[in-house]
Amino acid sequence: MRSTLADSIRTLGGRSPTLSDIMRLGVIVAALVVGLFVRLYGITSSLWLDEFGSLWVVEASLGEAWARALEFQGQSPLYYLLTWIPIHLVGESEAALRSTSLLFSAAAVPVVYQLGKELAGERCGMLAGLMVWFDPFLLATSVEARPYALALFFAALHLLGFVRATARARPADRAMFILGAVGLFYSHYLLATLVLGTYLAYLSIRALREQYRPAQFLLDLGIQGLLTVPGLIHLMQLFGRRGELSWLGAPDFTVGLFLLATMIVPLVAGWILAEDRAVLCRPADRAVALAAAMPVIVVYGLAALGINLLTSRYLIVPLIPIAVLAARAVLAVPQRRFVVMIISTWFVGIAGIYAACLPVFGYFTHAFANGRWREAVEVLDDQLQRDPGPVLFRSGFVEEDLHMSGRTIPVSRAPLRSPGCAAPAWNSIIPLTFRWKAPQRAAYFDAMVAPAVRDVRVFYILCRRGLSYRERLLRWAQEECGGPWDVRELYKEGDSNKSVFVTRVSKR
């Protein structure tokens, strides 16, 4: 977006601004202001579970943050090292922790603008940039303390470098192609499958090899391979503990439909109304389409084989190339009224999503309502000072199942400490398993949980991830731990899978 603004200002040099110039500048400035407003509104809200995992990594020294990222996270340390800087430069806060994602999501917009401009001119770049800036799923990614916004930036950079390299093969464009691929790989290993789409495009589309010679491409591919060797070693180590990292249940094959719909609808509408569809099938367009398709094919293909990775976060990267293709298709429609109608309908729909989120979540995005741990911990801490008792704690980290073997992991208590706050001084935290149907849960509960609550007057449950686990836990306590018990909700955020509950359980 900043590149667009700079281009607009440069066009005014040496002449008086026209009405079109003023309108364009007005649209850009308004988009920046509105986009920042909906992001900053709520950026100091409580972290959600995975964000606490990010905080746990970066709260330590730089060397320890590196070690923690390798030990616990399923990505390389790149994102965490970048996030370590604002946390230790300006101090801990929710906003500081989320600033890395906000910065890179904003930086991705001018890159997307340049990509659209490279494919079909400035209008395509502007529309693609606006769509990326306002898409509700990309908005959520831009304010989460997770590596996905960083991955989106490098994905856009990689695509721009590839499109330019196949057009002119300049050293700077090839370097961008390399940097984008390596950066995307180290941002998130799984999301780097987009890069495979550009490789496939180069091999299958002859026109892409006319300027970007095979020898040059192989050299650049070799450089990418060398630079990713440390990540490949880490990836092999992660594969060895894949069972610990498996947290999804049965695959939901509708996930992609909801995530990609906001971009695919204008893409399909533009394709249907385009007068000359051949214009939309030029080599560079087909390359971008293959890059968009590859992560979807990989994730859905693995799910069909029984490896369930079907979640929206692993399908977020295709939104970048799809946004460019959607803008390209819409602007190829010859009838101006249809172009205006499609664009207007898209923005009205997006505004409707924002408006619907506000009364439901209290924010313009669901990202800030994924579990209000800070509030739940404050409520429980106040209660424990007046009426102490053991706390049965289930954060929702899949690694909690390791407790059944007697091991504990420090990150499991991360949600108890919000940025800038000390961890509560609770002496009797009893960690619970992640899965109720974990093979050794019954034995673990008999050995560790039952003795802690059987003879007490009151105990508490701090639980995440829906009602079912907590309700099963309450039934188990009634049957195995000297019930009957009286149950009272102290804090209940809602009934979704990411809700947080504080429950007081006392003897009658």
Q: Which of 347, 369, 391 is the last residue of a domain?
A: 369
Is 138 part of a structural domain of the chain? yes
Handedness of CA 368, 371, 377, 378 (dihedral sign): positive
Q: Rounded to 5 degrees, what angle do the CA atoms 39, 120, 192 make?
A: 55
Q: Which two tokens stand for residue 136?
A: 């509700």
pLDDT of residue 14: 52
397 C-beta neighbours (distance < 10 Å), count: 23
Do 286 and 391 lie in a common domain? no
pLDDT at 27: 82
The reported pLDDT for the residue numbered 4 is 56
Are both 427 and 458 inside the same structural domain?
yes
Q: CA 281 to CA 19: how far, in whole Å?
A: 34
DSSP letters, 297-316, are HHHHHHHHTT----SGGGGS
Regions of the chain where pLDDT drops below 50: 9, 12-13
Bridge-partner residues for 491, per DSSP?
A: 502
Phi, psi of 341 (to 5 degrees): -65, -45
The CA-to-CA distance between both ends of the chain, in Å, stands at 62
Task: Give the pLDDT confidence score for residue 332 in this predicted structure.
Answer: 94
Q: Residue 484 is part of which domain span?
A: 373-507
Residues linked to residue 413 through DSSP beta bridges, in sequence order: none
Based on the domain organization, do 359 and 423 belong to the same domain?
no
Instruction: Give the pLDDT score at 7.
Output: 59
Number of domains in the chain: 2
Closest among 435, 508, 499 to 467, alpha carbons compared: 499
How confident is the model at residue 12, as a pLDDT?
47
Say how far apart CA 4 and CA 130 lie, in whole Å. Answer: 11
Residue 179 within a domain = yes
User: Residue 506 — φ and ψ, nearest 5°?
Assistant: -130, 155
CA distance 54 to 376: 19
pLDDT of residue 458: 95
Tell whether 14 is covered by a domain.
no
Instruction: Let me know whether 352 and 396 are in one domain.
Output: no
Q: Which of 369, 393, 425 is the last residue before a domain boundary?
A: 369
At residue 245, the pLDDT reads 56
Q: What is the pTM of this model?
A: 0.92
Task: Supply the pLDDT for residue 370.
Answer: 75
